[in-house]
Amino acid sequence: MPSIATRVTGLHFDAGDRIGLTITRASGVYADNSLMIFDGAVFSGDVAWYSERNEQSTLTAYYPYSDAGTPTVFDIALDQSGGCAASDLLGAVKHDVAPASAPVGMVFRHLMSEVKIVVNNTSGAAVSGVSVGGFAPTAEVDLGNLSARVQGGAAAAEVEACELVAGTSYRVMLVPQTAQLTVTVHTDGKDFSKTVPATLESGYSYDVTVDVAEEAISVELSGEITDWMPGGSLDGGQAEEEPGTVTCGSETYRTRTIGGRVWMAENMRNVPAGVQLGAGYWNPIGGAGAVAVQGLLYDHATAVGDAQVATQGPVRGICPEGWHIPDADELAQLLGADCGEDFYCCASWWVISLGTTKYGSKTKGYLMSSTLSAEDMRSCLGFTTTGIPPSMTALSTEYGLSLRCIKDVN
């Protein structure tokens, strides 16, 4: 049962869309690149659900489907004038899945970069098309980590863009990379080109405004976008933070407004300065490869930055400027709120008790607060993947829990 972090067409998949599904168990690959077809509600296919009901699996899916197998290398189309769907690679990963009769919910994310081009033509000649060059069209893909990057040694090529509005608006999918981006506007009488340095990131979208005059072309590049995650400036600068995301260090997080407050919609995954893995923060239960989806687990001292912090917020801790760790009251406001079905992401928790260290249940997770409810105990919100409603509780300050920052109230 799919949902899309951003979009393919509209805000959904279309009936007849095809994905490839791989199911991996501890004993090995159970199903490899099984074809699944969308019927308007769910993807289904011929793969049979196995009988070992207590054995956990990892499900990996991608779109669009390829008969050649699950892609580790992906080529965008050099001619996208007829549409970009074949070049819009999406991936989804779901860990710790056990056999069940209900569809498995999976969130698909864009792995390529999108560039949208708006042409303001005052040259007097009709625009017949737009192309972009300077970027290599081949990507190395790691679906397990939902990542893609340009293949080493791949040569640059020119890509014909898809026309959205005749002579005015165009769209093209490119492989994430840093290179010299050349935008060419083709007119009836002359081609106009401009080259600028650009860094495109996986899953991000970038806007290009092109002004074409009689003898020259000018290009303005930015990350203004409402559908995909907002990209940075393509001229090497840093775009201002856009609604819908917040950046902390090198990590960018989707945000969501719930009950009038803005929350991170992803678990925090920043590595704290001066803190060692296994001593203040830990990987999620899915391991290092799952950090991009499940985030990291932090103890109280690492999250707040000072073990003696006051019990009352706001406490910024490791949150970005203008954000803070929610206190118990703020966290409790999520109870019963419409957070969206993909808001909670179960990463388990790290237990330190009586000399024992281990992960907790695979089907449960906690979001921490800054509030100390008692000596060496902090309030937190627990949730499960089994349908039990979230609830407030308290756990040891030594435990490693997930963190969602909340935006300060101005």
The CA dihedral of 296, 300, 301, 306, to the nearest 10 degrees, is 120
Q: Tokens in use for 382? A: 């627990």
CA 290 to chain centre: 12
Q: Are 351 and 370 in contact (CB under 8 A)?
A: no
- Work out the burial of residue 72: count CB atoms within 10 Å of its CB; fewer than 13 is exposed, 13-18 middle, 19 or more buried: exposed
Domains of the chain (ranges; CATH) run: 2-230 (2.60.40.2630), 245-407 (no CATH)
Please list the pLDDT of the chain residue by residue as tens digits (410 residues): 776 665 434 446 888 999 999 999 888 898 999 999 998 888 999 988 776 667 788 999 999 999 999 999 999 999 999 999 899 999 999 888 888 777 888 888 889 988 888 888 887 788 999 999 999 999 999 998 888 999 999 999 999 999 999 989 999 999 999 999 999 999 887 888 888 888 888 887 788 888 888 666 666 655 433 334 444 333 333 333 334 789 998 899 999 988 889 999 999 999 998 899 999 999 999 999 899 999 999 999 999 986 455 445 589 999 999 999 999 999 999 988 888 878 999 999 999 877 788 999 888 999 999 998 777 889 999 999 877 889 999 999 999 999 999 999 87
The end-to-end CA distance of the chain, in Å, is: 39
